[in-house]
Structure 1
Amino acid sequence: MRTAVENLQVSHLVHFTRLENLEGIMRQGIRTRYDLDNSGTGYIYNDDLRLDGYPNAASISVSYPNYKMFYSYRCADHNVPWVVLRLRPDILWEKNCAFCWENAASTNVTCIPIENRRGREAFLDLFVNKSGYPTRETTLIPRSYPTHPQAEVLVFGTIEPAYITRVDLPTRFNPNSVFSSINRHCEFWYDDDLFWPRLDHRHWPANSFQL
């Protein structure tokens, strides 16, 4: 797995979350919905339905956020600040992961048994052309990007804070006292790059986006 990740030049994974969750994540890591619900820990969740069927897994993306989902969440309340966490790719071989070449809740993915979504070949399947979808030769995306912009990795169990290498915040964000209580074991950047649609967004439907 590690060799496959390196050959594809995948340097980081990403996970977006509300700013309100950041302090807890920096202390305890990215915990699954199942774990948080059973521990009684307060948090703000994004997906109240979890149609992927795996509340015991955290959802992350390879190289670039699922911008369509990210955009829809931000549009729901423009006053809610968001951050994007950059994570070490080591998660892919050190954690129990399942790979979803499209949105994890899509019928194209849920029809695949979870055991068939694990391992090196399932990971590599994120980077091949799929019938009926724009090809990599058309979109000209980097080799480190999954073919489908909504591809996901389900990580079963907690992703510890040590895997977080950087926190990206939009440049318009106004820092406040919340950061005084956050353990900054990683870099904090004011960078809009991961808040925009992926560079190939014009090849996919529903292309009206804004920061």
Structure 2
Amino acid sequence: MNLKPDAQKFADEILRRKITSLVHFTPALNLTSIFEGGEIISRQRLDLLRKDAPQLHLDDYVELNDAIRLDGRPDYINLSVQFPNFRLFERFRQKHRDDVDAWAIILIKPVCIQWNDTLFSVYNAASRCAKDQGIGGSFQHFQQMFKNNLSLYNQSSSWVEMRTGLAECYPTSIQAEVLVKTRIPNECITSIVFQSAELAGRYRAAAGIFGDTSSIPFIANAELFGRARAQEALNGI
């Protein structure tokens, strides 16, 4: 992957803030396609593969988190910093409670932040608020995710989010996003997290049928499925 011209500034800030992971959640069933293809892919790339590589039978086991990409960027993969966007995560889990039996949280190396096409949004990238404040790939856009005071709004209300008591690794808003273009190779995955050890074992066995899972830990950490952005949630991962 090509790096941003000022990638070292990003690397220094990632180190200073002790950011260890980017986070992507998905129905656990999707792990089969991720390990068969060797990468996490965007919605647009998935649609192309469905047409160009029917032998992969992607319709058989790919569940889409969001059927409509309201952010207008179908060629990007939406990630959180250090902890899942629990508000969006809960919405998806509620929406698919009858057809998704388990979810996986994929932890990804923060080097993706330095990639040339990566974008940053202070809030959910599909929101008018984020679009008004600007979604972009500069170091300034990255720093804005960690502002001390962040003025946010939606159709019904406005509010200010503050960093009081928040660890340096977390963006000010739980709904801030890092958008990575097109693909994330499996070499960037550091671990895959489940709510229980039983689910981790089951889906490791299933994914292993489709690809090599030997270098990626499948683990249990129920804290990452909660609402509290505790630094301890990522300890040991």
Give the corresponding residue for 1:62. Answer: 81
Pick closer, same or farther for the CA change 1:156–1:7 going to 2, 3 Å: same
1:141 alignment partner, one of 166, 169, 173? 166
Q: Aligned to 1:134, what secondary structure does the other structure show? A: strand
Q: CA deviation at 1:113?
A: 5.0
Q: For 1:140-189, what per-residue CA distance to the aligned partner results, in whole angstroms no more than 9, with x for missing partners?
A: 12110000010011111210000000000111744435144142121111
Runs of 4+ in 1 over 4 A off after TM superposition: none
Give the corresponding residue for 1:209. Answer: none
Query: 1:1-211 residue pairs with structure 2 within 5 A?
Result: 1-27=10-36, 28-40=38-50, 41-42=58-59, 43-78=62-97, 80=100, 81-112=102-133, 114=135, 117-128=136-147, 129-131=149-151, 132-137=159-164, 140-171=165-196, 173-174=198-199, 175-176=201-202, 177-181=205-209, 182-184=211-213, 185-199=215-229
Greater mean alpha carbon deviation, residues 173-182 or residues 44-53: 173-182
Amino acid at match of 2:223: D
Amino acid at match of 1:67: F
Pick closer, same or farther for the CA change 1:91–1:199 going to 2, 3 Å: closer
Q: CA deviation at 1:7?
A: 1.2
| TM superposition score normalised by structure 2 | 0.77
Q: For 1:9-61, what per-residue CA distance to the aligned partner results, in whole angstroms no more than 9, with x for missing partners?
A: 10111100011111221342110100110111432101112110000101011
Distance 2:134 2:169 in 1: 25
| TM superposition score normalised by structure 1 | 0.86
Q: Aligned to 2:180, what secondary structure does the other structure show? A: strand
Q: For 1:116-156, what per-residue CA distance to the aligned partner results, in whole angstroms no more than 9, with x for missing partners?
A: x112111111001213323111xx12110000010011111
Which protein is bigger by CA-based radius of gyration? 2
Q: Aligned to 1:83, what secondary structure does the other structure show? A: strand
Distance 1:156 1:35 in 2: 10
- Contact 1:127–1:146 (CA<8 Å) still a contact in 2? yes
Pick closer, same or farther for the CA change 1:52–1:75 going to 2, 3 Å: same
5+ long unaligned stretches in structure 2: 1-9, 51-57, 152-158, 231-237
Q: Aligned to 1:110, what secondary structure does the other structure show? A: helix
Distance 1:37 1:192 in 2: 32
Aligned length: 196
Pick closer, same or farther for the CA change 1:135–1:26 going to 2, 3 Å: same
Greater mean alpha carbon deviation, residues 80-89 or residues 27-36: 27-36
Amino acid at match of 2:40: I
Q: Aligned to 1:150, what secondary structure does the other structure show? A: coil
Q: CA deviation at 1:198?
A: 2.9
Give the corresponding residue for 1:206. Answer: none
